Amino acid sequence: MEYVLIALVSAVVSGAVAIAITYFYLHSRATTKVGRADLEAQRIIEEAEAQKRELVLQAKDEGIQARTEMDREVSRRRKELERVERRIEQKEEQLDRKTEQVDRRTNNLQRKEKEVDDVRAELDGFRERQFEELQKVAALSVDGAREILLARVETEMRDILDRRVHELEQESKAESNHKARMILATTLQRISSDYVAETTVSVVPLPSDDMKGRIIGREGRNIRALEQATGVDLIVDDTPEAVTLSGFDPVRREVARRALLKLIQDGRIHPARIEEIVNKTRLELEQIMREEGEKVAYEANVQGLHPDLIKLLGRMKYRTSYGQNVLAHSLEVSMVCGALAAELGADVNVAKTAGLLHDIGKAVDHEVDGPHALIGADIARRLGRSARIVHAIAAHHGEEEPQTVEAFIVATADAISGARPGARREMVEAYIKRLEALEGVANSFDGVEKSFAIQAGREVRILVQPDQVDDLAATKLARDIVKKIEENLEYPGQIKVTVIRETRAVSYAR
């Protein structure tokens, strides 16, 4: 037990001694490091102080150098400023000298102006005295003399201008007439188409009179079914081996004619068969009209037409005007328009298209109220034609005032095609009677001097006596004549009434 205690004490003492030795060893090493760190810090401080002194000295040197440069720049600028000041002083001296010269010149001018004013006043006084003496001699004031002189000069100038205007009018008329004749002659020579007079067939031949009874049917049921299906009246009279078709719509009349011929050939005539044949015939005719429209557009070399316009063109094959086939007339007008446009340098495509479509309104004028020109223009506008084509269609009968060259060309071509010999089948006697009746209505009113029916009776121009009919009365007279024409005459389309009131002055040089 004692040995154990002794061993423990010995171990404790040995540990304490070891700890003490370790402590002193570490303390001595720390002290040594601290001393070294102090020495290193002292050295760094001394080096920093040395660098600081060097930087201060360098900054002082740079400051001294900058100040020296600044002093030099200030000195240079001061010298420059002194030089500028001397130059300004010289300029001021020169300006003072020039100001003195200007003052002297101004004084001289004022003196001369005063002298001129004195001379002018003297001249004005002399002129007034001369005018007074002239007025006493001529017994006429200055204003009166001026008015007489101006009136004389104005009269002479008016006479000269009137003569010159008259000469220019005569020259322009002669030249324009010559050119117009040459253009029309060249155009007609290039076109020279056949006569286009044609009659719509309204009579259907029968193989025998017995067929009339079969067409009428029991208690008239067949004829009623045919009339109801086609919208055309069938007239069965005493005409041998023929029946007459009557209807305002030429397409319906053509459908009825074709259907009746098929029924006669087939021999089976009863209401159901009639309805079947009429429907088939209507479809066939629509196809025929479309083909005719395409054919005419191809012949006229007009491309890009809307399918509805093609169909309406084909429909005009069965429409006539004064015995003239409207489709053939439209084709002829298109060709004439193309030739005229080429001669005049106008747009050939616009002229040909407008010429081909100018009567397109006649295809539906039985269904739509209004002049066919305006109806056709509205159709062309809705189906995508250009504004120039629409205007030319609307203006070809004067419903609108022509504003383009193509519009005048279409109106001219329409007149050429309709007025040439053989184009229309209207009897001369009936034509003359209708024009005479139109002029007679106009001449029946008081104040009318003369009246002229023109454009195949589409317009009547009335010259009135200006001392009896004033402007307001002329307007009322036009309305009264229109009313009387509507009440007493029968005419196709519309009639334009133009009342002209004018005063003419005529003199002769002898």
How far apart CA 495 and CA 457 sit, in angstroms, is: 7
Domain boundaries defined on the chain? 143-189, 203-419, 428-500
The pLDDT value recorded for residue 57 is 86
User: E-assigned strands of 418-487?
Assistant: 448-454, 459-464
Cα–Cα distances in angstroms (integers) from residue 246 to residues 203, 243, 253, 440, in the given order: 9, 10, 7, 33
Predicted model pTM: 0.48
How far apart CA 319 and CA 198 sit, in angstroms, is: 10
Domain spanning 203-419, CATH architecture: Orthogonal Bundle (1.10)
How far apart CA 286 and CA 275 sit, in angstroms, is: 17
Helices 348-357, 405-419: axis angle to 10 degrees equals 50
pLDDT in tens, 41-100: 888 888 888 888 888 888 888 888 888 888 888 888 889 998 898 899 888 888 888 888
The pLDDT value recorded for residue 198 is 39
Beta strand 459-464 pairing with 496-500: parallel
pLDDT in tens, 346-401: 888 988 888 888 888 888 766 777 788 888 889 888 888 889 998 988 888 878 88
HSE-CB at 90 with a 13 A cutoff on CA atoms is 6
Residues of the chain falling short of pLDDT 70: 1-5, 28, 30, 131, 134-142, 144-145, 177-178, 180-202, 322-323, 365-366, 419-431, 456, 492-493, 510
The pLDDT value recorded for residue 359 is 85
Cβ atoms within 10 Å, residue 406: 28
- 127 token code pair: 């002129």
Q: Which residues does residue 324 pair with via DSSP β-bridges, in sequence order?
A: 197, 321
Q: What is the CATH number of domain 428-500?
A: 3.30.300.20
How far apart CA 308 and CA 357 sit, in angstroms, is: 12
The pLDDT value recorded for residue 223 is 79
How far apart CA 382 and CA 380 sit, in angstroms, is: 6
The pLDDT value recorded for residue 141 is 65
Nearest to 309 by CA among 393, 248, 232, 371: 393
Question: Could you tell me if 466 and 502 are in contact, meaning their C-beta atoms sit under 8 angstroms apart?
Answer: yes
Backbone angles phi, psi at 463, to 5 degrees: -95, 125
